[in-house]
Structure 1
Amino acid sequence: MDKSNSATSMWNYLMKKMSCCGVNNYTDFSISEKFKESSQKVPVACCKMNETSPSVHPLDPDCPRNPKPENSYYLTGCYKTMTDLMLGHMNFVIYAVAGVVLMELLATFLAFCMCNGIETYDK
């Protein structure tokens, strides 16, 4: 899979799972050559999905060409959705970062102890 397909797949997955569309909103796709050449205004991933279907099928088949609040998330940007998610889980993020910092400090301390032990052993 080339880089552009990987990025597209990642964005499609993110937009579907986070119920959002583009970084800011659907207008982010207006500069895309792919969307200029097609009749779509938004990717299928911006549409509300039929959750009972194992594959990606929008509830409204006309959604990519005619997005509305009832059939899509076209007005909701992923940046705002992600920042809201991060702010909602800020305690977890702080604890995770603090844990990583403590592990790094412990590893540094143990490395110094090992170096000191090797010097003592060599004498």
Structure 2
Amino acid sequence: MGCLQTLCRVFLIVVNLFFLLLGLALFAAGLFVRFGSEVLNEYVDTVKAELEKSASTAGLGTVDLSGLNLSDMLFGVALGLIFFGIFLIVISVLGTCGSCCKLKILLVTYVVICSLILVVQIIIVGILYGSPDTFHDPAKKTLKDKIQTDYAGLAGSDVISMAWNVVMQQVGCCGANSYADFTGAENWETDYSSTGSGYTLKTPIACCRTLPDSNDLTCADISGATTANNYLEEGCYNKVWEQTLGNTTIVVASLVVKKSCVQNDNNKVF
């Protein structure tokens, strides 16, 4: 029995050291996202340069994307990472100290917190994978509404336009759901006949797989845009989702580790 308790204690310490390191990593990542604008902006500098060049050669005039600051755009994400990192650090310290020092009050607190996290996580995962539209539909609608009211095309100098242009090129997608999200957008200019090209856009130019380096806008034209030269049917929301929370391997691994953590802590406390 003593040997089993020792193994449980060692397991608990190892698990919590892992979450402590994870918490520190998330905390550091949050600080980096918030204050590492120079490094972050370098990540999209190439795309921004290509967008500026494409806008110029398409006859849209000079477009300055220097005002697009990823750190400011990702302010909410940075805060989320920082606070979640601090939260993981706190519960990891509770578990580690409680196990090493055999302090029952700390272990009980830790077990309660872990249990609550596990329950909440199961509920959230159940909603996301059992009834995904409950979460996805409102999120997509919010993104589409912002496109309809704010998106101004490749020449747009507002944050929404610049952000969408960079994301669509960086991720390889078009709109939240597809190119249809841009249809009827209040500030998006689709008639390019004034540039001498005679094109009428079906999708934003930023949806082209290869940005045009002349006033040939076939890749975005109503009669020339296809899945071969345009990301028109590839929604950004689904692409980003599948690479993050939609990755079932990540979610299942998280649940398994959390369940093991709670079960072993219960054995240790009781």
Q: How does 1:9-20 map to 2 (within 5 A)?
A: 9-20=162-173
Pair 1:81 & 2:239 matched:
yes
User: Offset of 1:91 from its aligned partner?
Assistant: 3.7
Which residue does 1:98 correspond to in 2? none
Larger relative contact order, structure 1 or 2 (CA cutoff 8 Å, min sep 6): 1
CA distance in 2 between counterparts of 1:31 and 1:62 reads: 20
Is contact 1:23-1:77 (8 Å) kept?
A: yes
CA distance in 2 between counterparts of 1:61 and 1:37 reads: 11
- TM-score, reference length from structure 2: 0.28
CA distance in 1 between counterparts of 2:185 and 2:204 reads: 11
Counterpart of 1:85, as a letter, is Q
- In structure 2, the CA distance between the partners of 1:37 and 1:43, relative to structure 1 (3 Å rule), is closer
Which residue does 2:218 correspond to in 1? 62
Identity %: 27
CA distance in 2 between counterparts of 1:37 and 1:57 reads: 16
Which residue does 1:45 correspond to in 2? 206
CA distance in 1 between counterparts of 2:247 and 2:213 reads: 28
Higher mean C-alpha displacement, 12-21 vs 82-91? 82-91
| RMSD over equivalenced CA pairs, Å | 2.8
- Specify which of 30, 34, 51 is matched with residue 183 of structure 2: 30
Counterpart of 1:7, as a letter, is I
CA distance in 2 between counterparts of 1:71 and 1:41 reads: 13
Alignment length, in residue pairs? 86
- Gapped runs of 5+ residues in structure 1? 50-55, 95-123
Q: How does 1:101-112 map to 2 (within 5 A)?
A: none
Counterpart of 1:82, as a letter, is V
- TM-score, reference length from structure 1: 0.58
CA distance in 2 between counterparts of 1:70 and 1:37 reads: 21
Counterpart of 1:64, as a letter, is A
CA distance in 1 between counterparts of 2:227 and 2:233 reads: 7
- In structure 2, the CA distance between the partners of 1:58 and 1:90, relative to structure 1 (3 Å rule), is farther
- Secondary structure of 1:48's match? coil
CA distance in 1 between counterparts of 2:203 and 2:213 reads: 12
**Deviation per CA, 1:18-41, whole angstroms, max 9, x where unpaired?**
110001001111121344652211
Which residue does 1:117 correspond to in 2? none
- Gapped runs of 5+ residues in structure 2? 1-66, 68-149, 151-157, 192-199, 255-270
User: Offset of 1:58 from its aligned partner?
Assistant: 6.4
More helix by share: 2
**Deviation per CA, 1:39-78, whole angstroms, max 9, x where unpaired?**
21111110011xxxxxx43697301113101101101111
Is contact 2:205-2:217 (8 Å) kept?
A: no
CA distance in 1 between counterparts of 2:209 and 2:190 reads: 23
